Amino acid sequence: MRRRERRRRNRIFKCLVFSFVAILLVSYAMIWVHRNPNSFSYKSSALLIGSQWVDSEGVPTEIGSFDHSESYSTVIDGKNISHRDLCFRSKNTDFVVYLDGEEIYRYEPQVPRLFGKSYGVYFHAIPIPDYEGEKTITIDVYPAYSGGNGSIQDMQLQYGNKYYAQLYASNAFNFLISIFLFAMGVVLFIGGFAVSGSANKGKEMISIGLFTMLASTWSSTETVYYQLSSNNPAAVHFLNYISLILIPGAAMLFVGHFVRNGKSLIVRTMVLLSVAICAADIIITLSGVTDYHNLLILTHIQLGVAAVLSSFYIIRAIVTSTIRRHQTIVIGTAFFMVIIGGVCDLVRYYVFSSSHDTATFFRLGLFAFVSTMSVYEIVELYNFRKYETEAKTMRKLAHTDALTGIANRMAYNEFEKEIKGNKEYTDEVLLVQLDINNVKKVNDNFGHVEGDKHIAAAASIIDDSFSGIGKVFRTGGDEFIAAIEGMATKARYDDAITKMERAVAEYNKKNKPPIPLQIAYGMAEFNPRKSTPEETLRIADSKMYDMKNKMKGQM
């Protein structure tokens, strides 16, 4: 029952983990699967930029954040163009650019409902034709949301290729860190499944890997690389939201297993809540009622709750010494750096919204955390493998008969517990009781060395005969039990007995022992719904003694 319960819990754990991974992979695929090649159009072949703008009422202003549709214009002298581009970053805003009333650029991507109302962040280098004298540049903006979340930032006069090159260069370090972290997450995730013998250690590594993959995914979408390489900023925006929504659950999953409290109701609730919020956000967005941006406050609240709960669990683990104090302090400190970095970026998001990269401090904290955890897990895995090897060696010694090298009585007792009372055990099981004749006579007349040789020879023959079709145990001085599981057990039993009797005859002919080797045996079929292993062995034992008596009579 206990083993079935563990298997059930492991299945639930794996289902939860793979649901997180499946959502993440599908969200990644959306970036390149759903493309929007007609999201913008050019109507010129040259470049331009302006510096001083006025709104629709003629009031001088600078283009920045806005919460309503507006028209901005500026007068540019043609001598300032020189084949430059009008370069800037737009966020959650559709817009149209005009040159002296003639439309030259329109950015109104058709965003699938699944991705929300807006495309997120994108970068533009708008060609303006060369001209002489002065002309008016007008930009009509249409923000997707109220509250000032739409913006046009970093407007500059620049050559388009150089502008994009600068974007790639300035974001390269952050993007490479994110990719490195994602790769480390994959290694930890796969490594967790490869760990055997310690369910909690494996789950701890899997949850670290899952958290790292989600966090690094969110971090990487805050750089420009996915937007520019895929030309699909809406899908990147979607991936950004989805990964952020799932981070609190993955963080709690890690903390729960790290502090040996993975079964906590609070931990499970937070994990399920992340999945539930993700599903609810997608459904609500698809319904058209609202979208991820307006629901982001729920995710931020959950992130705050996860930060508080994680801090509580880690501090409690340090105080109560649930695990080694030194490692808890080191790992806890690294995780706190992630939390602090996340809080700093959350403040930046609400207070200083001009930056397109809102993951700067979180990324640094995550790098410190993953680096620390990687070293920790490597050391732990080395120690675990070392102890596991020692434990396997000790277990093998404890379950192996010293004289014959086959499984002993302790090993049989464990096998018996496995099949005893298991109503779901559907395989046929034949139990064979075997006994070596005349061992006492060999010991009394020729010494224990010859007796041990007699037993070892019999054990080798029995083991070879049943090898590949069953298990063999030495349960007493001259007693053995063979167990045959699976289908067609009777036919395989007959083959094994034929092989054993032939081997006994060959041994006696070749080695000419002082007293010929004889092995008596009896078989009975075990059915967990009708009998116990003890009752089955009594039947087999009775048949074996009948055969033993016949052999003595023949001698």
Output the DSSP codes for 514-551.
Answer: SS---EEEEEEEE-TTT--HHHHHHHHHHHHHHHHHHH
State the Cα–Cα distance between residues 88 and 529, nearest whole angstrom.
Answer: 76
Q: Give the per-residue pLDDT at 550.
A: 85
pLDDT category, 555, cuts 50, 70, 90? Answer: low
pLDDT for residue 112 is more than 60: yes
Q: Give the per-residue pLDDT at 8.
A: 63
pLDDT (average), residues 62-76: 87
State the Cα–Cα distance between residues 346 and 344, nearest whole angstrom.
Answer: 5
pLDDT category, 105, cuts 50, 70, 90? Answer: very high
pLDDT for residue 201 is more than 80: no
Return the bridge partners of 152, or none: 90
The helices-and-strands tally (H runs, E runs) of the chain is 14, 15
Choice between 319 and 285, residue whose per-residue pLDDT is larger: 285
pLDDT category, 19, cuts 50, 70, 90? Answer: low
Residue 262's contacts (CB-CB under 8 Å, 6 or more residues apart) are 200, 203, 253, 256
Residue 313's contacts (CB-CB under 8 Å, 6 or more residues apart) are 255, 256, 259, 261
Q: Give the per-residue pLDDT at 12.
A: 63
Q: What is the CA radius of gyration of the chain?
A: 37
Q: Give the per-residue pLDDT at 28.
A: 62
pLDDT category, 522, cuts 50, 70, 90? Answer: very high
pLDDT for residue 45 is more than 60: no
Q: Give the per-residue pLDDT at 504.
A: 94
Report helix angle 265-287 to 2-33, nearest 10: 30
pLDDT for residue 290 is more than 80: yes
pLDDT for residue 5 is more than 90: no
pLDDT for residue 530 is more than 60: yes
**What are the chain's domains?**
2-33+173-393 (1.20.1070), 41-158 (2.60.120), 409-554 (3.30.70.270)
Q: Give the per-residue pLDDT at 351.
A: 66
pLDDT (average), residues 308-326: 77
pLDDT (average), residues 42-71: 71
Q: Give the per-residue pLDDT at 48.
A: 40
**Three-state secondary-structure class, residue 51:** coil
pLDDT, tens digit (0-9, with 9 covering 90-100), for 457-510: 999 999 999 988 889 999 988 999 999 987 778 888 999 999 999 999 999 999
pLDDT category, 355, cuts 50, 70, 90? Answer: low
Task: List b or e across 222-256, with b for residues whose CB sees 16 or more CB atoms inside 10 angstroms.
Answer: bbbbbbbebbbbbbbbbbbbbbbbbbbbbbbbbbb
Q: Give the per-residue pLDDT at 497.
A: 93
State the Cα–Cα distance between residues 77 and 539, nearest whole angstrom.
Answer: 107
Q: Give the per-residue pLDDT at 38.
A: 47
Return the bridge partners of 485, or none: 429
Paired tokens of 394: 């000790």
- CA 203, 205, 207, 209 torsion: positive or negative? negative
pLDDT, tens digit (0-9, with 9 covering 90-100), for 366-420: 777 777 777 777 777 677 677 767 767 777 777 888 888 899 999 898 888 888 7
State the Cα–Cα distance between residues 515 and 451, nearest whole angstrom.
Answer: 10
